[in-house]
Amino acid sequence: MVARRLVLERCAQVAGLLAAAGLLPSAARAAWPQAAFDAKNLADAVKALGGSAPVESKDVTLTGPDIAENGAVVPVGCACSLPGLKRLALLVEKNPNTLAAVFDVTDALEPNFSTRVKMGQSSNVFAVAMLGDGKVLYAQKEIKVTLGGCGG
Amino acid sequence: MKALWIGAAGLMGLALLPVQAQKSSADAIAEYRKMLEDGNPADLFEAKGEALWKQKRGPKNASLESCDLGKGPGVVKGAFVELPRHFVDTKKVQDLESRLVTCMSTLQGLNADEIAKTPFGRGEQENVTALATYVAAASRGLRFNLPQAHAEERRMYEIGKRVFYFRGGPYDFSCASCHGEDGKRIRLQDLPNLNKNPGDGIGFAAWPAYRVSNGQMWGMQLRLNDCYRQQRFPYPGFGSEATIAVSTYMGVNAKGAESIAPSIKR
Amino acid sequence: MQTLHPMKILVVVTMVLALAGCTSLPSSAELDQQTVVAMKASFRDQGIAKVDRLNQDLGQRACSSPVAPGDDVVKRIESESMATIKWPTGGRYLGDWREGEKLAQNGRGMTWTDASAAPKDNGANCYNCHQIDKKEISFGTIGPSLWNYGKLRGVSDVTDAAAAPIVQYTWGKLWNSKAYAACSNMPRFGHMGLLSEDQLRDVMALLLDPKSPVNQ
Amino acid sequence: MAADPMRIRAQAQGDKAVVRVLMSHEMETGQRKDSAGKTIPAWFIQEVTAAHNGKTVLNAEWGPAVSKNPFLQFTIKGAKAGDKITVNWVDNRGEKRSDEATVT
């Protein structure tokens, strides 16, 4: 796992260099954190985003349903009102790649974002808050995904 | 397994949920549906349909703005809750989608047979769905009131009732097998009783709808098509007599139901 | 003021009625016939789902109405259906409940998007309509709950003679549900070739095996 | 073909505005296979930005786990009726879309 992570990080660095040199399409900008989106768990994703080990905290809010009728669209939201907040992220533990979305927090915005994510199966979902002092806090909630329809 | 990542959600029993969850599961699903209502991607298709309605297209380089959906040329608002209905020019009872194809053919010069043969979600069929979404949205909040003055409209209702009860195929299913009684469901999905007005925004009054499971916009023609697929029937033709008859049956039965279309569905 | 001749009035009224489409409906029998014609004209072959699926047998035809068929027709459907039931080879009624649970969960098969109509490619569709193992909360309600199916019927040993009637009934119901209720909503899993004998044994085990989670 | 327009609703609520955006995009994961068994390549929005009267207020990075035809809600402080809200996205193929709405 460690080796894989290193390789991924190196790939990201290389990609960053290529992008800086104008060798990649404009979309594949260095700003998009490839390594973080390739991560397979919460700790690795946070690390790839430059954060320390995440600590569960009541100061982070994660909204979402208890049961999702369909895993293709699961409404989730993250919020945190601590001072010094830099980023909020949404992650799904059991997805092939854990990280779903990252939002940079600016003074012009309320630190509160909602979107919808795909879930391949019932799983813990995380809201992660990255603070300016390097601290990383998170909230989690289990969201169950049910089978619907005739299954055909 | 990975390859099926998303598809799997719809195909397999993903989780055996604990027994204690059972009491609140209906509430939890209701909560989930509520969360999705604000921000229905059907809005995207409605906007696309509106643009298509006004855009000059086809061999005749014309818009659909003079299309008669039953309330006179160009009248969109209120048309949806009175369809299917009889049209003098085609001498047929037509539903929203087949009527749109008629207008695309007569006004824009597009080939109606070609459109009918095009698979759902492709080419001009994709446009028909977007247009239907736009037309339906213009009647949001209005109540269904299909005309039954014309003999052909009443005949289609009677045929539709028989189509609704027609049992066949390897499973012996008819529409009525699932939609003929109150309070039934398949898995966790409530099944409206379509023999009567099932309530505001339920059944006929909820389509076109955005399907969460596959991210597709479905009109009533595709809704019926997939019902027949799951009924294990052969393939119903787009705009075929059976589909329009059964739509007439459901639409007339839904008299007084408020339209919430385009809605969002599992 | 010109007065209209009564005959002229009649002609005008008839024309107005015709224009408004106020003509009478065909008879019920004619509508039945027109429905069959409309069905045949509206559907086409797609994959394994051919138009011959619209050719109704006696039971399908008799049960295609909101009104139940008469007693004589019901009796005929039920007795003819009873005669189609093939009892399991070697009198072996039960298979593996674990496989039965998988089949019960599986709602696939026999649609025009399925490649094959072979039983091995079909599910038993049970949870679509029935509660079975209580652990599965996503179940339908078109059919009755089957939770504790064997236990409630006192089946503690399926080889016991006392259990024979319920074991046989369950097999028969799965094979051809119409033997017990002419217009049953349940598919005829054996008769229509939807499930193999072995698959039916597995579903039987899910319902009747004292070790099945259904009977805990 | 160019992507279909976004639907942006920006509603003033006191001294802020709630912005709800729907984007038309496949958000293909790269994990699925087509009927022939071939992997469908990943195709998803990677970056979303938003501006309030021309000043960038939101930067977000997304992965393919965001649902098809994505929905996003955020709240801009100090925005009032009549203000311009611009939303932009860029996907992993480099395709872009930019749409504008007025706070109501």
Q: Which regions of chain B carry the CATH code 1.10.760.10?
A: 42-137, 151-265
State residue A2's pLDDT score: 39
Tell me which residue in B2, B6, B44 faces D22 most closely, judged by beta carbons: B44
Report the percentage of chain D scoring pLDDT > 90: 89
Residue that the structure tokens 């010069």 belong to: B109
**CATH label, B42-137, candidates 3.90.1150.10, 1.10.760.10, 3.30.1360.120, 3.60.21.10:** 1.10.760.10
Neighbours of B183 (CB within 10 A): 8
Instruction: State the Cα–Cα distance between residues C43 and B236, nearest whole angstrom.
Output: 4
pLDDT at residue A26 above 60?
Answer: no
Please indicate whether residue C183 or residue A70 has the higher confidence score (pLDDT). Answer: C183
C138 and A148: CB-CB below 8 Å?
Answer: yes
E strands, chain A, are 55-56, 60-63, 67-68, 74-80, 85-92, 99-104, 112-117, 123-131, 136-145
Please provide residue A106's backbone torsions phi and psi, each rounded to the nearest 5 degrees.
-120, 165
State residue B233's pLDDT score: 98
State residue D35's pLDDT score: 81
Q: Which residues of D touch B7 (CB under 8 A)?
A: 32
A70 contacts chain D (CB < 8 A): no
SS3 C83: helix
D68 and A72: CB-CB below 8 Å?
Answer: yes
State residue B75's pLDDT score: 98
pLDDT at residue B234 above 50?
Answer: yes
Among B1, B4, B5, B266, the residue to mutate for chain D (most D Cβ within 10 A): B5
Tell me which residue in A66, A120, A146 faces B8 most closely, judged by beta carbons: A120
Q: Which residues of A touch D59 (CB under 8 A)?
A: 31, 103-104, 106
State residue B26's pLDDT score: 76
Q: Which residues of A131-148 are buried (b: 16+ CB within 10 A; e: fewer)?
A: beeebbbbbbbebbbbbb
| Residue B6: pLDDT band with limits 50, 70, 90 | very low
* Residues 175-214 in B contacting C (C-alpha not used; CB under 8 Å): 176-178, 180, 183-188, 191, 195
D71 and B48: CB-CB below 8 Å?
Answer: no
Q: Which residues contact B265 (CB under 8 A, 6 or more apart)?
A: B206, B209, B210, B211, B212, B218
State residue C4's pLDDT score: 53
pLDDT at residue C187 above 90?
Answer: yes
Whether D19 is in a domain gets the answer yes
Whether D25 is in a domain gets the answer yes
pLDDT at residue A149 above 50?
Answer: no
Instruction: State the Cα–Cα distance between residues A33 and B175, nearest whole angstrom.
Output: 50
Residue that the structure tokens 């998170």 belong to: A138
C31 and B162: CB-CB below 8 Å?
Answer: yes
A121 contacts chain D (CB < 8 A): no
Q: What are D49-73's pLDDT values in tens digits?
A: 999 999 999 999 999 999 999 999 9
| Residue B30: pLDDT band with limits 50, 70, 90 | confident
Q: In this predicted structure, which of B65-69, C20-24, C183-187 has the lowest mean pLDDT?
A: C20-24
Q: B251 exposed, middle or buried (CB, 10 Å; 0-12, 13-18, 19+)?
A: buried
Residue of B nearest to A68 (CA): B32
Assigned CATH for C84-101+148-215:
1.10.760.10
- Domain span at residue D70? 7-102
pLDDT at residue C155 above 90?
Answer: yes
N residues, chain C: 216
Residue of A nearest to D53 (CA): A108
| Residue B38: pLDDT band with limits 50, 70, 90 | confident
φ/ψ bin of C117: left (φ > 0), alpha (ψ from -120 to 50), beta (otherwise): alpha
Assigned CATH for B151-265:
1.10.760.10
D31 and B39: CB-CB below 8 Å?
Answer: no
pLDDT at residue B113 above 80?
Answer: yes
State residue B10's pLDDT score: 37
Q: What are D18-40's pLDDT values in tens digits?
A: 999 999 999 999 988 888 889 99
- Domain tally for chain D? 1
* Catalytic-residue membership of B227: yes
| Residue A3: pLDDT band with limits 50, 70, 90 | very low
SS3 A111: coil
Tell me which residue in D29, D71, D77 faces A108 most closely, judged by beta carbons: D77
User: Going from the N-terminus, what domains does chain A have, and what CATH number goes with each?
Assistant: 52-145 (2.60.40.2470)
Whether D95 is in a domain gets the answer yes
State residue C23's pLDDT score: 62
This prediction's pTM: 0.86
CA distance A17 to chain B (A): 31
CA distance A77 to chain C (A): 26
> Are A98 and A39 spatial neighbours (Cβ–Cβ below 8 Å)?
yes
A101 and D73: CB-CB below 8 Å?
Answer: no
pLDDT at residue B105 above 60?
Answer: yes
Whether D39 is in a domain gets the answer yes
Bridging pattern class, strands C43-44 and D45-52:
unpaired
Interface partners of chain C (CB pairs < 8 Å, 3 or more) are A, B
Among D4, D6, D7, the residue to mutate for chain B (most B Cβ within 10 A): D7
* Residue C3 DSSP class: P
D66 and A116: CB-CB below 8 Å?
Answer: yes
Tell me which residue in B165, B170, B176 faces C110 most closely, judged by beta carbons: B170
pLDDT at residue C33 above 70?
Answer: yes
CA distance D33 to chain A (A): 15
Which two tokens mark C114?
A: 């399925």
Residue of A nearest to B18 (CA): A144
